[in-house]
């Protein structure tokens, strides 16, 4: 029997989860909830799920899980409401832009004791997952330093930034999570530099578009994160982990294996250009993992607490940038 | 409205086409035909198609196309029977192991004038298709020579060889088709060398497991094909085209973009290991193309005549190997 | 006629310059000066130059240039003395470990107006030089950020560190120079993180072995420098420059072009393991450039002031690390 | 004490050997012999060797070895004359264009029992040598097939071809030697295809500019050789060896490790463009090996008999091309 699932949000990310849920033969995507009627109708037509109001969806006692893919500012309220109903939740990142609200999410999930999976997609990417396995299994020796390069193809609109948070909370938050996952220790110091060299309007709006972040754990492991809102050649997603025995790195995925040689040198294809192409498999794995967590065969790989921790690092980075100093991270219990 | 399709054959290749047909939203996979009841039942359960006899399937006047994925020796009879009913056909390669029967297929298809697509999967692979576009658009200049490397991971059983033809007719036939497609001219000379160095039993059964084939066109273009039934590191599928201006090559597809460096050097992942992984996208494109051919929006990219031509080259190669001489290819009209 | 040159220092780096000078057909390596008689004698035998005292060497009025490759703490005194004699100088990096003494070197060179070349080898490496040309010629567009990875194969002895300066002044000083050269602007903010995770004894001696440094220029260009005293797979020297139009990167140089594929994946050779292998060509180019500067056909590519500037950045990094804050660089005039 | 050496030939290849001999500290390049006085004088000025007549050079009883780098048609006579004087010989490939004369060289060298090294440069290339070591040490398992790609950047003049032999005897002869070396067995069958598609004038002069050659040994190992007189992107020198356990390949050497990424994809530098760049290290190793053979510390890696065997394969290939059949190689004793 397939698990009846509700999808909240029929926007860009909602369509990705909707398509994957409807293609997963353990899921029955039963309802789509979106205040934008056209978006809901379109995704409904594509997947066969019924477009309904949130109340209608949650009134169905058979619902086995909810996928939250709506606007960021709705996440925390939805988590609290759905957790109170004891329905398993998959929530897109971030929990919220405020650590106070994020902490409330942690409390709600903890209290209700529901299965909860956070959408930190990198952890579900096959290449990143293999890298993590090498770290975990000691193949690299003691981890000494990590380099994360995470660069978007082109800057978002100012409206997007206003709704989804600044560079640290919207973009680097993925990298904070990857750092915590691979470092195997919580960073206790953060220092950040930044500028708005790609688009001055971003600077005028109070955000940055280019950043360097340094993390340090108590045992002395270092992690650098390099972010940019612009990359001339695609969606640049690389990470390398230096251990005492070996280094492992994940390189970008080329679009083809075609190579053309001539007077101009040897030209290979570009790399994947968008997050949905680059992490297509990761999104599929997220849905599968959510089902496995609901059915109890797996424990959550990305927890509600991971969402809070990444946000706390984003806060520390923002503070470091503003105060031009290294910030000691204060984690809430 | 979806096109009602019949799939004949629920074996290894039948399951690939069945899965792709059932995932294509322009197709209704209506019937599965296979004398092995268990295989038919299993694929039927997976796809929702009904397992029936061939007679039953062809009695349905609404059937819009038939996918032939049954054993090689059944292809020609099926083509003649289905062509006579004027139903569009997608047929797995090869048409037949005999050029006489293959010629009969050409005649049957020509006479009935049905849409017909042959399953030469390389032409549907995105990387190969981009390579062909470079050739066609003159980016490489005048084509001077081509190198095709096509190596299986491990040798098939002797039973498989008996049913599916020798190395030239079962395996190299793909490469003959790629050669014709990229050369842009018909080869008129063939010369082949071979041995059974991988598995002597293959030699005792009258076949070879390793081959070098040279093709030459009338304008002097050369093409080498290198085949082996064994590759220590996966399914080796490479081609390079040397033109007067540039060279383009398609390299193997690595399984991941992970690279581990240490005392032992820099180790990347292996390449894809099986034809269904390597050509997964090509098989999806084949089904889409078949639908587009049925609906008239595309003309067949791989025709029944292409099947005959490749077989004639395989015959010439076998003759060259046996007679230890360069053979002039005799194409039937 | 060949230019008579004096080499001061017959240690590790002195032998490199000695071999290159004696192989350069525009140079006559006339004298070798080293208080360690054995070292001087050995290099003398190898190159045919005469081992003499410094006084003897400088008494020869025909001497056209001096190569300073002696211990770091001798550099500044030698520069002052030789500049006073108006003899052209090539000096290994760094000028000195103190900015006060380095400033004195700048003053001495400025006052005497002699040709002076500093041994920042990266600028003479063909790959780095091509990268710089792309930046200079605008091929990359406006430079937005730079990533420098500079990692030694294994940590030096504590004695070495005591004599040659800490990580910032001995090792990162090269990267500060590369950053200045590629950024095209002086960094005005520096922030550094570090740890002694490779070898705790380095930490006990007051130094670090792993560092992350962030530089920011007034126009908002960012540069990250990642240093480590240990690399499991060789001498790791990479840099990438992200511009508004393109990114260019210099990758490590593999020792061979051999690739072995099997069950274990695809293994390429390791990269070059030592600075003298990796920068062999750069050292040759340095000597050639020194001759060209002496003869007036080129102007110094790496000036005495470049040596001061890099040291000022090292000082700022050390201060940032100690005070856990972003430091505004104070450049002396 | 340095070994006094005579160099015969101050042309393109003579200058390479001259420069290497004069830089080798075990060699004293004493004489240069070339009927073209200007060429001899120029190389004499560069190396310090004395330009003399052949008689003068050979009259010097101290001469320890002769390097033959003169025109092909002079090789055999010189070998016979110098062998009769019992002076060690290094001879550029080929011995001669005729197997009869080559056999005479073998006889002369055998009779005089002098140290003799043939200039098959591939065997001295570090990458090729490592590949051979993997084969020899069994790392690849049983060798099953080999692919040699050997392509010149651009076709030579017709005059060059007349003096130096056709494609098989001038160019592929290197590849025949590499094939014998890596196969570990003598090929007993040869079959060749060819055309003059690069330059029709080459065809009119009776030669080809593009070739495919297949070799087969008695145990069934296959080797393909792909030659062209034109390569749009440099000097294409690749080889791959497929064994039962692993495959090893030598890739082309890029000129730099610079990679530029943008809209147009990822463009790396071209590969080395000329044989003297690509095999610069191999030529240095040849001279060193010659000295070691003269002094008795090494035995010749490339013998006079290797020169004959490669020529016999070239003859067989020419016969195969002409007679359009597989040719059984007849090796002289």
**Contacting residues of A for C197, CB less than 8 Å apart:** 142, 144-145, 219-222
Sequence-distant (6+) residues with CB within 8 A of A121 are A174, A275, A279, A282, A283, A286
Q: Which of B210, B238, B213 is nearest to B223 (CA)?
A: B213
Determine contact: A271 vs chain B, CB below 8 A: no
DSSP state of A85: T
Beta bridge partners of B268: B259, C266
**Cα separation, B313 vs B323, whole angstroms:** 15
Best of C258, C259, C265 to disrupt the B interface (most B CBs within 10 Å) is C265
**Cα separation, B41 vs B272, whole angstroms:** 30
Topology adopted by domain D123-279+309-328: Dihydrodipicolinate Reductase; domain 2 (3.30.360)
Q: CB count, 10 Å around CB of A218?
A: 11
CB-based contact B189 D149, cutoff 8 Å:
no
Give residue D111's Cα distance to chain centre: 24
Residue C235 banded pLDDT, cuts 50, 70, 90: very high
**Strand runs labelled E in A136-263:** 143-151, 187-195, 210-217, 222-228, 236-243, 247-250, 258-262
CB-based contact C251 D260, cutoff 8 Å:
no
Topology adopted by domain B3-120+288-302: Rossmann fold (3.40.50)
Q: Which tens digit of pLDDT belongs to each residue from C17-26? A: 999 998 888 9
Q: Render the burial of C165-181: b for 16+ CB within 10 Å, e for the rest.
A: bbbbbbbbbbbbbbbbb
| Percentage of residues in chain B having pLDDT higher than 90 | 95
**DSSP line for D145-162:** EEEEEEE-SSPPPHHHHH
Residue B203 banded pLDDT, cuts 50, 70, 90: very high
pLDDT of res. A25: 81
CB-based contact C259 D251, cutoff 8 Å:
yes
pLDDT of res. A160: 92
With CA atoms as reference, the chain B residue closest to D225 would be B224
Distances (CA, A) of B181 to B136, B170, B238, B310: 10, 18, 15, 11
Residue A333 banded pLDDT, cuts 50, 70, 90: confident
Residue A62 Ramachandran class (φ > 0 left, ψ -120 to 50 alpha, else beta) = alpha
For chain D, where do the domains classified as CATH 3.30.360.10 start and end?
123-279+309-328
Interface predicted TM-score (ipTM) of this complex, two decimals: 0.95
Query: What subunits make at least 3 CB pairs under 8 angstroms with C?
Result: A, B, D
With CA atoms as reference, the chain B residue closest to A248 would be B260
Q: Which of A186, A182, A206, A173 is nearest to A317 (CA)?
A: A173
Mean pLDDT over B115-131 rounds to: 98
Mean pLDDT over C12-40 rounds to: 94
CB-based contact D224 B226, cutoff 8 Å:
yes
Q: Is the pLDDT of residue A168 over 90?
A: yes
Mean pLDDT over A132-141 rounds to: 98
**Which among D23, D248, D261 has CB closest to C258?**
D248
Which residues 272-301 of chain B have a CB within 8 Å of chain C?
A: none
**Which among C233, C263, C266 has CB closest to B261?**
C233
pLDDT of res. D4: 98
Determine contact: B258 vs chain A, CB below 8 A: yes
pLDDT of res. D37: 95
pLDDT of res. D25: 81
Q: Is the pLDDT of residue A23 over 90?
A: no
**Which among C233, C234, C266 has CB closest to B270?**
C266
Q: Which tens digit of pLDDT belongs to each residue from B211-258? A: 999 999 999 999 999 999 999 999 999 999 999 999 999 999 999 999
Residue B159 banded pLDDT, cuts 50, 70, 90: very high
pLDDT of res. D323: 98
**Tens digits of pLDDT across chain D (333 residues):** 789 999 999 999 999 999 999 888 899 999 999 999 999 999 999 888 999 999 999 999 999 999 999 999 999 999 999 999 999 999 999 999 999 999 999 999 999 999 999 999 999 999 999 999 999 999 999 999 999 999 999 999 999 998 899 999 999 999 999 999 999 999 999 999 999 999 999 999 999 999 999 999 999 999 999 999 999 999 999 999 999 999 999 999 999 999 999 999 999 999 999 999 999 999 999 999 999 999 999 999 999 999 999 999 999 999 999 999 999 999 987
- Residue D123 and residue D135 in contact, taking contact as beta carbons nearer than 8 Å: no
Which residues 21-40 of chain B have a CB within 8 Å of chain A?
A: 23
**Which among B126, B252, B256 has CB closest to A127?**
B256
For chain C, where do the domains classified as CATH 3.40.50.720 start and end?
3-120
**Which among B144, B210, B231 has CB closest to D198?**
B144
Determine contact: D105 vs chain C, CB below 8 A: no
**DSSP line for A221-253:** -EEEEEEES--TTS-EEEEEEEESS-EEEEPPP
Q: Is the pLDDT of residue C120 over 90?
A: yes
Residue A269 banded pLDDT, cuts 50, 70, 90: very high
Determine contact: B61 vs chain C, CB below 8 A: no
| Structure-token pair, residue A88 | 């398993």
Query: What subunits make at least 3 CB pairs under 8 angstroms with D?
Result: A, B, C
Distances (CA, A) of D77 to C176, D32, D81, D162: 62, 18, 6, 19
For chain B, where do the domains classified as CATH 3.30.360.10 start and end?
123-282+309-328
Query: Phi and psi for A84 in degrees, rounded to 5?
Result: -65, -25
**Contacting residues of D for C131, CB less than 8 Å apart:** 258
Which residues 227-256 of chain A have a CB within 8 Å of chain B?
A: 245-253, 256
| Percentage of residues in chain C having pLDDT higher than 90 | 95
**Residue whose tokens read 């290094």:** D90
Q: Which tens digit of pLDDT belongs to each residue from B84-95? A: 999 999 999 999
Q: Is the pLDDT of residue B1 over 90?
A: no
Helix (H, G, I), strand (E, B), or coil: what is residue A305?
helix
Q: Is the pLDDT of residue C29 over 80?
A: yes
The nearest CA of chain D is from the CA of B257 a distance in Å of 16
pLDDT of res. B219: 96
Over chain B, what is the mean pLDDT? 96
Q: Which tens digit of pLDDT belongs to each residue from C247-294? A: 999 999 999 999 999 999 999 999 999 999 999 999 999 999 999 999
| Structure-token pair, residue C242 | 């992200």
**CB-based burial label for C139 (10 Å; 0-12, 13-18, 19+):** middle
Q: Which tens digit of pLDDT belongs to each residue from A246-268? A: 999 999 999 999 999 999 999 99
**CATH of the domain spanning D3-121+283-302:** 3.40.50.720
The nearest CA of chain A is from the CA of D254 a distance in Å of 9
With CA atoms as reference, the chain D residue closest to C278 would be D257
User: Between vectors from CA B3 to CA B1 and to CA B9, what angle results, nearest 5°?
Assistant: 150
For chain D, where do the domains classified as CATH 3.40.50.720 start and end?
3-121+283-302
pLDDT of res. C156: 93
**Cα separation, C43 vs C21, whole angstroms:** 12
| Percentage of residues in chain A having pLDDT higher than 70 | 100
Name the CATH superfamily housing domain C3-120: NAD(P)-binding Rossmann-like Domain (3.40.50.720)
Determine contact: B271 vs chain C, CB below 8 A: yes
Q: Is the pLDDT of residue A119 over 80?
A: yes
Topology adopted by domain A123-282+309-328: Dihydrodipicolinate Reductase; domain 2 (3.30.360)
On the question of a cis peptide bond just before residue D94, with omega within 30 degrees of 0, the verdict is: yes
């Amino acid at each position: 029997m397939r698990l009846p699932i509700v999808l909240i949000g029929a926007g860009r990310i909602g369509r990705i989860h909707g398509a994957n849920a409807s293609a997963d033969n353990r899921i029955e995507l039963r309802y789509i909830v979106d205040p934008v009627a056209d978006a809901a109708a379109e995704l409904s037509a594509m997947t066969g799920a019924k477009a309904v109001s949130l109340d209608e969806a949650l009134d169905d006692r058979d619902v086995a899980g909810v996928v939250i893919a709506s606007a960021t500012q709705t996440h925390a309220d939805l988590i609290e409401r759905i957790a109170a109903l004891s329905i398993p939740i998959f929530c897109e990142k971030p929990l919220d832009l405020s650590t106070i609200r994020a902490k409330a999410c942690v409390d709600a999930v903890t209290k209700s004791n529901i299965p909860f999976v956070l959408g930190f997609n990198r952890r579900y990417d096959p290449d990143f997952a293999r890298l993590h396995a090498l770290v975990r299994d000691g193949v690299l020796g003691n981890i000494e330093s990590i380099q994360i390069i995470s660069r978007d193809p082109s800057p978002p609109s100012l409206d997007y930034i206003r709704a989804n948070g600044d560079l640290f909370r919207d973009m680097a938050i993925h990298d904070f999570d990857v750092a915590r996952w691979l470092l195997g220790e919580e960073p206790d110091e953060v220092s950040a530099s930044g500028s708005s060299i790609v688009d001055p309007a971003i600077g005028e709006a109070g955000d940055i578009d280019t950043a360097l972040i340094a993390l340090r754990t108590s045992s002395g492991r270092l992690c650098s994160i390099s972010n940019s809102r612009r990359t001339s050649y695609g969606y640049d997603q690389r990470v390398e982990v230096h251990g005492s025995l070996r280094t492992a790195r994940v390189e970008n995925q080329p679009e083809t294996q075609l190579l053309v040689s001539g007077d101009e040198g040897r030209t290979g294809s570009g790399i994947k250009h968008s997050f949905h192409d680059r992490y297509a498999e990761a999104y599929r794995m997220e849905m599968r993992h959510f089902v496995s967590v609901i059915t109890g065969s797996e424990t959550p790989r990305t927890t509600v607490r991971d969402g809070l921790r990444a946000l706390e690092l984003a806060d520390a980075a923002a503070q470091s940038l503003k105060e031009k100093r290294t910030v000691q991270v204060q984690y809430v219990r």
